[in-house]
Structure 1
């Protein structure tokens, strides 16, 4: 994989998202190369066990879009929402399985916006899907997936709120 090309395309997609939009949803973006994949992550520092280091925190919830050699061979861009080590979130007391179940029930109301998506995973992967990879409009596709996440990001907050300590 020529990660430089994909990294550039993901950065371009991220640059299309205004600071105003991120502020509105209180979300942050990161584009990086992780485990031989080019990844764009969307997260909220409050959804982590360490708001000062949210991307490396033990407990964290985030949305990601990624490509790597395997996904490129399959001609796909993958996306998912992860919820890692929720018991490490110091401000909340919520079992991971409960969080996953509640999320999936709410998410299914928005499923039509997500191509090739499934919620048939364990409690760490709340949902995962893919869309066709077309290098000529990858920025647009990544941008669209992030916009879809913005529309459902409230679900995480609404699930966490009743479990606040």
Structure 2
């Protein structure tokens, strides 16, 4: 896999995502190399146990779109929502399984908007899906996925609210 190509591509995509609505809702977007993957992540610092370092906090929720050697060979662009170690989120008393169940019960109404998506995972992966990896459409595909996440991100806030202490 050509990491430089995908890193440049993902960074260019971030510049083209209409940021106004993301900024208004407190969502941040970044591109990282992580676990031999190039990933675009969308998150809110308040969804993390460390507002100063939300992407390295042990406890965090984020949306991710990624490619790596495996996905490249499969010709798939993967996306998911991770919810890691929620019991450590300050101001909440959360069981990861309960959080996942409540979120998924609300997400089911929107599930048909997401291609090849599944919610059949443990509590760390709230949902995961994939699109065909196509160099000609990857730009628009990731922008579309980002917009879809923007629309469902309130489900995370609303679910978190039910666990507030």
| TM-score w.r.t. length of structure 1 | 0.97
Match of 1:75 in 2: 75
Give the length in aligned residue pairs. Answer: 165
Match of 1:32 in 2: 32
Q: For 1:87 and 1:128, how far apart are their aligned partners in 2?
A: 22
> What are the ranges of 5 or more consecutive residues in structure 2 without an aligned counterpart?
none
* 1:139 and 2:139 are equivalent in the alignment: yes
Q: For 1:48 and 1:58, how far apart are their aligned partners in 2?
A: 8
* 1:21 and 2:25 are equivalent in the alignment: no
Q: For 1:21 and 1:5, how far apart are their aligned partners in 2?
A: 28
CA RMSD of aligned residues (A): 0.8
CA-CA distance at 1:155 after TM superposition:
0.3
Q: For 1:159 and 1:32, how far apart are their aligned partners in 2?
A: 27
Secondary structure of the residue that 1:82 maps to in structure 2? strand
> What are the ranges of 5 or more consecutive residues in structure 1 without an aligned counterpart?
none
Q: For 2:51 and 2:69, how far apart are their aligned partners in 1?
A: 32
Write the mapping of 1:1-165 to structure 2, written as runs, cut at 5 A.
1-165=1-165
CA-CA distance at 1:26 after TM superposition:
1.1
> How far does the alpha carbon of each residue in 1:23-46 deviate from its partner, in whole angstroms, 9 at most, with x for none?
122100110111110000000000
Secondary structure of the residue that 2:30 maps to in structure 1? strand
| TM-score w.r.t. length of structure 2 | 0.97
Which stretch has the larger CA shift, 3-12 or 147-156?
A: 3-12
Q: For 1:106 and 1:12, how far apart are their aligned partners in 2?
A: 32
